[in-house]
A and B are shown apart, each in its own frame.
Chain A
Amino acid sequence: MTEGGFRVLVVCTGNICRSPIAEQLLRARTSEGGVAFSSAGTGATPGAAMPGEAAELSRAYGGEPDGHVARRITRALIDESDLVLTAAREHRGAVVELSPRASRHTFTILQFARLLASVDPVDLAAAGTPAEVVAAAAARRGYARPGEDDIPDPYRRSFAEYQVAAALIDDAVAQIATALDRRG
């Protein structure tokens, strides 16, 4: 674990829709001062702001979208994170290509939630730190039934598509936040 507590990096393409929503919802649902959350995009335009739909949905689900600016992912950002959550598999691949070692703690958001759900509750209860939670989830890869891993990109699409993406994020984040928060 890096200095200063457990760090989670959320990654999507533009760092204006999916990853900021997930970051903000995670932050809103975990106790303050515990796990640190940030986000970045594989193809982000640095400085870009969240589209109105994304900000609105984030707020609707309890997030705090104000002040978010997009930034581009770097190897340093990955290396200082203890858990990398991505919107889709393409981002997971991109992260691992940038920093191969990250493969052990890089998941898509939906994948991580699914893995957590498949962890034996006893094992989950025994995990004392977020790092142990991640390890327990990682060990379930290949065991857990495969499912949909990707959150579709709503950018420049209808509001309905934003809603679909936000609902997916909301579901997964609820699970992830619960698992991480207790140890944060």
Chain B
Amino acid sequence: MELRDYLRIVRKGWILITAIALVAIGAAAAYSFLKTPEYSASAKVFVSVQSSETVSDLAQGNTLIINKVKTYAELVSTPAVLQPVIDDLAIEATVTDVAKQITATAPLDTTLIQIDATSTDPALAADLANSAAQNLSAAVAAVEAPAVGDGASPVRITQVTDALVPTSPESPNIPLNLALGALIGLALGLGVAVLRETLDTRIRGEHDVQSVTDAPIVGGIPFDTKAEERPLIVQDDPRSIRAESFRSLRTNFQFLGGGSSRRTFVFTSAVQGEGKTTTVANLAIALADAGRRVVVIDADLRRPRLADMLGLEGAAGLTDLLIGRAEFDDLVQPWGRGNLDVLPAGRIPPNPSELLGSTAMVDLIARLEQRYEYVLFDAAPLLPVTDAAVLATHVSGTVIVVAAGRTRKAQLRATIAALENVEVKPVGLVLSMLPTKGPDAYSYGYGYGDIADPAENPAWEPLADTVVPRPAEPSSGDAAGPRRSTAVAEAPAPSSPPAPVAKATVAASAAPSEEAAPAGESPAASTEAPPARSSARTSPARKSPAGSAPRSGAPAGTRRVTAKPSPSAADEAAVARPVKPAPRKRPIAPKSAVPEPLDEDYPTPTLFDGDEPDGAAAAKPAARPTLVALRSRRGARPSGSASRENSR
């Protein structure tokens, strides 16, 4: 684990850690308050040899004492001293009890003995220490008395420090106890948090997904407690952050599937209840809102939910079609304002997998791809049944919906393995039910306070997708990165002829003359490019705003600024992004209508720019590998899109 991981764990488990620390502090406090206070007093005695003889005698005596002083200290805990103490103080205690209360120590290389006494009574503590000191004197005198004669003991013990009645208890030491409690509590809490993290096998967020697969996360859908009541959030509350997350998902979806023109996706998950149907339905509505022709098919032939969610009758549908009982045109149900068609599951068949793998299904997919820009399948979960895997082999992309906090890592691993068995690699993952707070929180959107309502301001919605080219976007230029974008960038309004612009750009960029031609051509070539794209099949409504003045919708307005014919903007941009003179002479791109595929080193940046307002937000999840590249190139992007837009 890295330090970052620990920080994440702390962030995630801070409540637990704090709680455990508080409990420990509380325990320490309780212990301190419940414990009877103990007082401690100490007395000191000085040990000397009685000798009035010579200095050498004195020196000898001193050496003797230093050797013996430890023994005298030990004497304190013997009945020889303690019994008289008990008698003197008239306390009811045994020698053993008192021995525990009195300790004597002899500091090294001195002839002092320190006698400490503890007691719950401060006066008694002092008395014990003093009495012990006095009785030690007597006891030593007794044991050291010469065996013969009645001479006094040569050893004399003098009390040098009287024990004083202590004013404050020695224990408990409240601050120390509390500090210890806090420390132990924190350590314990941290340990529990780390343990919990280690034992937690559920996928909580992006972090956990990355540890399982390198498939990109194409969307994050925040959890909504009311998701059951209003699953069609894009419809019900288009301004909510949740609806925004589906629009981000829509944005990312336009780049899934690599260069293929197929836009057929199957949505599955590990187990049921991960939000597949909700995700598919909302994505389909979001795509339809953006002017795409979308068909969404309930391919969960075991527990179909799509028709109910969309408020349609699901009694007849895909199964009727696959067994040849009815025609697609009879079964498909238009939804909403016309761009979205829905094919419910129909009656539940006994053999869903066979139906989904049948040639009728393959034919159906081919036909639908002709007719719709997006074909979305809501499939059954992959771990219990194989339906989704069967379907996955026939579509252009498989998306796994992962419910944060529900799906286990092992389940996701197994799901991916099940797809690998049929040689399908998921094109992306959608994390659903993301928490809205905390370290794993939904972080894919900006949470615009005032997202333009598509109903109020139809301008930006359609525009959103029109300007987004496909990854392998046809472009007139070839590789050499910066130049072309600049040239195309400050493209004129549709009315302006391409020539002057080319000139202006060349002047500003001081590009070699070879540059001029492709630069000038770009707008022209891109005029023809759009029809080659699927977005050409759009409703007229989508096209109208392209060249028009900015509307009130802030994001749209901002974006469209680049599209406005503004010579100064052109210059500015050219200055801001100085054009590197082409180091080599590029072959001039064919001026034919057949555009070349975009250069490899410039693969997907178009993804997130020039797109709808949520484009920037959307960049976050999907762009994992390309995000840096995107940022560095961002400047060039909107303008390129703008010219395309204008050239419409």
Contact = CB atoms under 8 A, between A and B. Distances in A.
A92 B336 contact: no
Interface in B341-378: 347
Nearest to A96: B315
A93 B317 CA distance: 11
A182 interface: no
A146 interface: yes
Contact of B316 (A97, A142, A144, A146): A97
A142 B337 CA distance: 11
B458 to A, nearest CB: 15
Contacts of B337: 139
A57 to B, nearest CB: 28
A143 B237 CA distance: 11
Interface string B306-341: 000111111111001000011001110111111000
Contacts of B235: 142-143
Contacts of B338: 139
B379 interface: no
Nearest to A97: B315
A141 interface: yes
B334 A142 contact: no
Interface string A95-121: 111001101101000000000000000
B232 interface: yes
Contacts of A139: 334-338
A146 B311 contact: yes
A142 B330 contact: no
Contacts of B317: 100
A141 B334 CA distance: 10
Contact of A103 (B232, B316, B325, B336): B316
Nearest to B308: A146
A146 B236 CA distance: 12
Please indicate which of the listed interface residues A89, A100, A138 has the most CB atoms of chain B within 10 Å of its own CB.
Answer: A100
A94 interface: yes
B315 A94 contact: yes
Contacts of B335: 139, 141-142
Given A103-B331, A139-B337, A97 B312 contact: no
B289 to A, nearest CB: 12
A16 to B, nearest CB: 24
Nearest to B230: A145
A96 B336 CA distance: 19
Please indicate which of the listed interface residues B311, B317, B320, B334 has the most CB atoms of chain A within 10 Å of its own CB.
Answer: B311
B321 to A, nearest CB: 9
Contacts of B336: 139, 142-143
A144 to B, nearest CB: 7
Contacts of A144: 311
B313 A96 contact: yes
B311 to A, nearest CB: 4
Interface string B234-251: 010000000000000000
A146 B320 CA distance: 27
B440 to A, nearest CB: 31
A141 B313 CA distance: 10
Given A139-B336, A141-B311, A141-B312, A100 B331 contact: yes
Interface in B266-312: 309-312
B310 A93 contact: no
A141 B307 CA distance: 10
A165 to B, nearest CB: 21
A181 B330 CA distance: 28
A144 B338 CA distance: 16
A94 B317 CA distance: 13
A100 B326 contact: yes
Contact of A142 (B312, B320, B331): B312
A101 B332 CA distance: 8
A103 B326 CA distance: 12
A12 to B, nearest CB: 16
A138 B333 CA distance: 10
Contacts of A142: 232, 235, 309-312, 335-336
Nearest to A106: B313
Interface in B132-182: none
Contacts of B311: 141-144, 146
A141 B310 CA distance: 7
Interface in A127-148: 138-139, 141-144, 146
A146 B326 CA distance: 29
Nearest to B340: A142
A100 B325 CA distance: 9
Contacts of B330: 100-101
A139 B330 CA distance: 17
Given A143-B235, A143-B336, A103 B313 contact: yes
B338 to A, nearest CB: 8
Contacts of A146: 311
Contacts of B326: 100-101
Contacts of A143: 232, 235, 311, 336
A135 B517 CA distance: 53
Contacts of A96: 313, 315-316
A106 B317 CA distance: 15
Given A100-B326, A101-B329, A141-B311, 11 more contacts: A100-B316, A101-B330, A103-B313, A103-B316, A104-B333, A106-B313, A138-B334, A139-B337, A142-B232, A142-B311, A143-B232
What are the 3 closest A-B residue pairs judged by CB atoms, nearest first?
A93-B315, A100-B316, A141-B311
14 contacts: A89-B313, A100-B317, A100-B320, A100-B331, A101-B329, A104-B333, A139-B337, A142-B232, A142-B312, A142-B335, A142-B336, A143-B232, A143-B311, A144-B311
